[in-house]
Structure 1
Amino acid sequence: MVTMAAPVVVGVDGSASSFQAVAWAAEEAALRGAPLRVVHAALRWAYDVPLVPQPAHWGADAEASVRELLRQATERAHAAAPGLEVTTEVVDGAAAGALAAAAGTAQLAVVGSRGRGGFTGLLLGSVGRDLAAEAPCPVVVVRHPPARDGAEIVAGVTGRPDQEPVLRFAFEEAALRGLPLRALHAWTHPATRAPGDMQPLVYDVEGVGQEEARLLAESLGGWREKFPDVPLVEHVVHEHPGKALVDASETAELVVVGPRSRGKVLGSTVYALLHHAHAPVAVVRHLAPHAHRP
């Protein structure tokens, strides 16, 4: 019995950013041997729904417009990945929640960083942020076309034990693309080892830097053995993580990070990347059970 790979889901609203996300998602789906599912979120209310202000009625013109939008998105996907299996769907609801629901059976969800606004606009401050916090699978926000010359995958490594999903995703992406992986650990104060630990007011930067390098090496653990064909660069820098990762994104094909917590609070580092990164950003909360494995 042949098991179909879980799809890659991409949200589209007709903006240039969302079409750029479609092209990126199509290439990613092809790399993973997965189908692509193009989703448009819309609020389709009838006139008798008591809402104020009353949204525009979903009629024949709107239906035709959406069909044309999905046709163009399919063409863009096939141009990026000829022969890819592409399906389209219109889902009801506000964009972030509707896309998060559509991603329930997906291995990856993709959106653009800027949209057309309104109910279906893929705005970074709303849809991209909320989807990254709510989706049951990793989410990629496509801000810019990724770097091609000397490109690498960059992973933000905190040293916390809950980072295994982030590292696995980053190594898998590097293996899929045949690219090196830069494991970047940025620090501003000595790391605390246990809840309640106090950070010293005065510390030796060089000595702490060496300790942070050991922390990074420990975090990478057996990943070199699991992915022996992925060139790995360990990079420790005394810098705010957000700035360090934004700087590293200039030569990255993809930046991979995890949120600060398991809830819907993404943290300042993720927000900084979503607003300023020079490459697509993958936010990995946890891996879905059907996620890709190389």
Structure 2
Amino acid sequence: MADPIVVGVDGSASSLQAVAWAAREAALRGAPLRIVYVALRWAYDVPLVPQPAHWGPDMEAASRQLLRQAAERARADAPAVTVTTEILDGAAAEAIAAAARSAQLVVVGSRGRGGFAGLLLGSVSGDLAARSPCPVVIVGRPRAGHGAEIVVGVAGRPGQDPVVRFAFEEAVLRRLPLRAVHAWTHPAARGPGDMQPLVYDVEGVGQEEARLLAESLAGWREKFPDVTFVEHVVHEHPAKALSDASPSAALVVVGAPGRTSFFGSTTYALLHHAQAPVAVIPCTPARAHRL
């Protein structure tokens, strides 16, 4: 059996949108869906101030009801998918990251019940994107339609093969074209110690960046010959370039922050502003995406 897709819920509208997205993705992959709710079941003798609400029958029943509602939403969107539910113990990001060890994909909403109205990225989704051993998809604001292409951010540096592979495989699953976006603000450093010039020819550097993108993607056309593929190079901050591409995207794919990816603060900025779900991929070969 295929590894499951794990989706975290907390009763918020954002998490139910994540459930619907995860259910449809599970149907595409022929994978089971595991819906989890994370609870801090404090012991009665732990001296905490202020004292948190104790776990008891009422909280257990409320959590089970929340999971039932999420499962009903999943089955409505993907009736053929096998759905299971589970209550996990611990802090949310850590508990879901632990569940991700046996998953092929983790899905969460962009904002939980405690989020501010203007903030699209909840602390749990941000922490999870940075620590998960498998790809994390963060589902944001509601939108009309499901998007017309897959967008992937390509930095043109070593270590991004898992990111590019994931994007191509999603394009195959969804039968959509792929847009590879390479954004630059200064000439790329070619090696350790390279100095960036203070003055440079924008057109000439743009041509060099286009060659860099082509080199980074060499061989992928042969591996995925059925995918219609566009290379897009833009003189812009990567977060803005990817955000600008997101309205037409079914999914935006980037590397995980804090790892070998070019994206770090860029990823977080994108998660705040993207108008499509964002997949954050660990840039290591250990957990390559599997169909």
TM-score range with shorter-chain normalisation? Answer: over 0.9
Paired residues, number: 288
| Amino acid corresponding to residue 68 of structure 1 in structure 2 | Q
Q: Secondary structure at the match of 1:282?
A: strand
Q: 1:161 aligns to what SS in structure 2?
A: coil
Runs of 4+, deviation exceeding 4 Å:
263-266, 287-292
The 3 A distance-change label for structure 1 pair 105 and 291 is: farther
Residue of structure 2 equivalent to 1:12 = 9
Question: Are 2:92 and 1:95 equivalent residues in the alignment?
Answer: yes
Q: Percent identity?
A: 76
Q: Is 1:128–1:141's contact at 8 Å kept on the other side of the alignment?
A: yes
Q: Secondary structure at the match of 2:3?
A: coil
Distance 1:261 1:142 in 2: 21
Partner of 1:230: 227
The answer to whether the 8 Å contact 1:154/1:170 transfers is yes
Q: 1:63 aligns with which of 60, 63, 78?
A: 60
Matches within 5 A, 1:100-139: 100-117=97-114, 124-139=121-136
Q: 1:67 to 1:123 in 2, by over 3 A?
A: farther
Q: Is the counterpart of residue 51 in structure 1 residue 39 in structure 2?
A: no
8 Å CA contact 1:107, 1:292 repeated in 2: yes
| CA offset digits 1:59-110 (Å, max 9, x no partner) | 1110110111000000000011012100100001111111111111000000
CA RMSD of aligned residues (A): 2.1
Query: Which residue identity does 2:131 align to in structure 1?
Result: E
264 and 203 in structure 1: CA distance in 2 versus 1, 3 angstrom threshold: closer
8 A contact 1:133–1:265 mirrored in 2: no
Question: What is the identity, as a one-letter code, of the residue corresponding to 1:168?
Answer: R
SS for the counterpart of 1:229 is: coil
1:147: how far off? 5.9
TM-score by length of 1: 0.93
* 2:163 aligned partner, one-letter code: V
Unaligned runs of 5+ in 2: none
Contact kept, 8 Å, 1:180 with 1:231, in 2: the verdict is: yes
Whether 1:185 and 2:175 are equivalent positions in the alignment is: no
- Structure 2 residue 208 is the aligned partner of structure 1 residue 211: yes
Q: TM-score, normalised by structure 2?
A: 0.94
Change (3 A) 1:291 1:31: farther
**Distance of 2:76 and 2:101 partners within structure 1:** 27
Aligned to 2:196, what secondary structure does the other structure show? coil
